[in-house]
Structure 1
């Protein structure tokens, strides 16, 4: 049966005009773009709300504050160095150790590293870090211990002691009077909680600091890189005995010289020359050349003190170290020392050339 189109008012066989089709397609494209924009905004909001490294990737100032790395690019360059070794990471879980597995992380690996660096750089408590990263305090503790051990062995496997030829090649002009200097040495101490045992108190009490401390020996090449870090010892140990036990004597040869403070009475222990300030006694006054020598050594030794200050800019060492983390403090301190070679620029700007 035929129907009159004019009578029914609609032609079911007609094709919509091209302009109407284009309008629908245009609206679909706009909706698609809007959905994509909303997804990007949602992803950005998630990043902003989630406390992790990516949240601060655009601010080098924040990266320096939270990690002590100079820039985000510096941090990521370091990450690229250690990431290939992560398959060998041994994780601490519930007071046990297990080899790295696929889905054992509460946080992405990069954020675990960020959490560890915040603990080291800012000295934030585990409970605070747990609230920031939305994980349990026990999980924070395991992450810190895992990364302290991992970085201790990864960075410790890199030989930081330099052959004397390389030291000479990078020798700053300021050392022209001491061109044979291989390393500048100094001791440093970090305060620790007073043990309840009187015997332990006597071992870790430092007369110099009038507090219980751990003590370490740090060596710096003349151009400003850390080239030696000893383990931590009880604060009562003398500089001479710490030098003797640290193992650095085995690295020294007759063609080298070391630069130390006048408190290092180690002449009989080393096979090499020693540059140190001249002792001032009551019986005699310094000769003019002795005054000049002492001033020259003091001007150069100050750089190792500045380097140690960089290590202690990791705020974890500002507070008294609780005995509860004494099992990992050696790893934490060594990692902080070794990280200085990656985090910062040269001690003296002119030495970068």
Structure 2
């Protein structure tokens, strides 16, 4: 049982635009306004990749990827999982008797167009942000591999999953990101 299981992220891989209209529809991300793929990565507290899902089309929901990828099979009781705001998987994590930490959402304030958080939410956001830095550093390591970090040619689609898993494995062989 780990105190902090990892940080769930959706890492968009940029794809060439496929010729097939069906494939274009499956990979188009309205959020990124381009054809992408999504991969769910879980990162340990030391900064190593402990779970890498297969690549899904850019229009697939994060909830679907979390459920379909088999990630939830690795979640154990009392695990503490951090995720971005877009992950709507609290009920799935709670069923496993684990906790999900998501940064709080800002609210509109009554006296203008600004947004605000209360003192407790600010402290919670700072705590999550300190750990989030290590996640971003791990993802940066992954993006240093040219085939994974740049636009992936559509001709490499059959081996895209293996490329990302091998890149994550090679990142794990690098010196640890976090020293305790």
TM-score by shorter chain over 0.5:
yes
The Cα of 1:187 is off from its aligned counterpart by 1.1
Contact 1:204 1:235 (C-alpha < 8 Å) held by counterparts: yes
Q: Does 1:307 align with 2:138?
A: yes
Pairing of 1:1-353 with structure 2 (within 5 A): 164=1, 167=2, 180-270=3-93, 271=96, 272-282=98-108, 285-342=116-173, 344-348=174-178, 351=179
What secondary structure sits across from 2:107 in the alignment? Answer: coil
Q: Distance in 2 between matches of 1:275 and 1:249?
A: 15
Q: Is the 8 A contact 1:219 1:226 kept in 2?
A: yes
**TM superposition shift of 1:238:** 1.8
Matches of 2:168 and 2:33, distance apart in 1: 24
Partner of 1:138: none
3-state SS of 1:269 partner: helix
Q: Distance in 1 between matches of 2:149 and 2:117?
A: 38
Q: Distance in 1 between matches of 2:86 and 2:51?
A: 19
Secondary structure class of the residue paired with 2:10: strand
SS at match of 1:223: coil
**Matched position secondary structure for 2:16:** coil
Unaligned residue ranges in structure 2 (runs of 5+): 111-115
Greater relative contact order (Cα < 8 A, sep 6+): 2
Q: CA RMSD in A?
A: 1.6
TM-score normalised by structure 1 residue count = 0.47
Larger helix proportion of the pair: 1
Measure how far apart 1:181 and its partner are: 1.6
Deviation at 1:283, TM superposition (A): 6.1
Do the aligned residues in 1 keep the contact of 2:47 with 2:176 (CA within 8 Å)?
yes
Deviation at 1:253, TM superposition (A): 2.0
Aligned length: 172
Runs of 5+ in structure 1 lacking a partner?
A: 1-163, 168-179
Superposition deviation, residue 185 in structure 1: 1.4
Change (3 A) 1:226 1:319: closer
More strand by share: 2
Q: What residue is the counterpart of 2:113 in the other structure?
A: none
Displacement of 1:319 after TM fit?
3.3
Q: Is the 8 A contact 1:193 1:322 kept in 2?
A: yes
Contact 1:186 1:305 in 2 (8 A): no
